[in-house]
Amino acid sequence: MEGLLDCVLRDVLTRIGGVDRCVSEFIRVTNTLLPERAFIRVVPELLNGGRTPSGVPVRPQLLGSDPNCLADNAARVAGMGCDGVDLNFGCPAKQVNRHGGGATLLQDPEVLYRITLAVRAAVPLHQIVSAKMRLGFDHDQQAEECALALEAGGVSEIVIHARTKADGYRPPAYWPRISDIRACVKVPLIANGEIWNVQDAVRARQDSGCHDLMIGRGLVTNPGLGLALKDFDESANPSATTSSLTPLTWQEMIPHLTYFWELVQKRISHRHQCGRLKQWLNFLRKHFAEAEVAFLNVRTFNDPQLISAWLKTVKPQDQAHSLLVETDYKSGFIFQSEQEPLVEI
């Protein structure tokens, strides 16, 4: 998730827990061997043994279309200290597809095979080569053929986003099609797409036949989702309702939000700092009603000092059970009080 799920948010989300492995934003590979600093800029975790500060492995992801160039770059980044290399065959962005990268490659399974074969040969055998794909470009009729091409090229596992490029991010995700692919390939498959809560995760597992899941936007909007899913897996009664599995409250989120802001100030350029906080709050609104109030507080701020001042006024107990949006005219901030429905002023 370029421009959102970077090293800053990876640090925060993996500290919260429930994440076994991360894949970086894609690193564009065109016609040159990138210097090490280019990989470190996107994956600074390479300076920490390829792990986040909390110890979760981060696998660099490469995007391109030239087998030899991808192989050279994969060998370089693999040598910098990571558990493996991931290949992007799923990005639906028009700009990426116009330049022959991402999901457009799903139209030619032979190219998928040549890329993975070259990369697998270039990466030491003790390191994993994985790939992410969609069900197809304009249709899903070649989904099995594409997965078989990746397997033949030597990938160790495949993440499948259960939509085509044409589907974009529109619901639903077609998880049963992953089950069809599982019947054809032997390498482990990981289901991805439209997983927002534990209930979705359970259905994705049932429909796809995959126990392992990759969660992107769902974890950004609900940072406790990984923990909730682990709690569900470890519960004595797996058939019990999933609605009560909410291990992360807004009260508990506030320290993580503050830590995120501290990292943003250290790593993000001054003019983009406010935008990064507002961007994450915008996603959090999908899961936390209190995030709506927080977003209203900061949506007009373009000065990082104002955000810092606002965060100092935020106390977990202030928003724990609050619903009505009101205004504190002395501070200029919006807060919530109890017993009334949420309204926007």
CATH topology of domain 7-234: TIM Barrel (3.20.20)
In 3-state terms, what secondary structure has residue 325? strand
Helix axes 250-267, 289-298, angle to 10 degrees: 40
From residue 85, give the alpha-carbon distance in Å to each of 32, 69, 279. 18, 14, 28
Write down the pLDDT at residue 57. 98
CATH number of this structure's domain 250-337, picked from the four choices 3.40.50.300, 1.20.225.30, 2.60.40.2470, 1.20.1250.20: 1.20.225.30
Q: Which two tokens stand for residue 125?
A: 């055998």
Tens of pLDDT, residue by residue over 199-244, are 999 999 999 999 999 999 999 999 999 999 999 998 855 555 555 5
Contact 130/157 with Cβ under 8 angstroms? yes
Q: For 214-257, give the secondary structure using H, E and C.
A: ECCHHHHHCCCHHHHHHHHHHCCCCCCCCCCCCCCCHHHHHHHH
7-234 and 250-337 agree in CATH topology: no
Contact 227/248 with Cβ under 8 angstroms? yes
Write down the pLDDT at residue 92. 87
Write down the pLDDT at residue 251. 92
Contact 213/205 with Cβ under 8 angstroms? yes
Tens of pLDDT, residue by residue over 242-271, are 555 557 899 999 999 999 999 999 999 999
Contact 50/58 with Cβ under 8 angstroms? yes
Distance CA 142, CA 118 (A): 22
Write down the pLDDT at residue 323. 32
pTM of the model: 0.87
Contact 229/203 with Cβ under 8 angstroms? no
Write down the pLDDT at residue 322. 34
Contact 139/172 with Cβ under 8 angstroms? no
What pairing do the DSSP bridges indicate for beta strands 58-63 and 84-89?
A: parallel
* Domains in the chain: boundaries: 7-234, 250-337
Contact 192/181 with Cβ under 8 angstroms? no
Q: Which two tokens stand for residue 149?
A: 């091409």
Low-confidence spans in the chain with pLDDT less than 70: 236-246, 316-345
Contact 250/243 with Cβ under 8 angstroms? no
Write down the pLDDT at residue 100. 76
List the catalytic residues: 91
Q: Which amino acid is at 293?
A: V
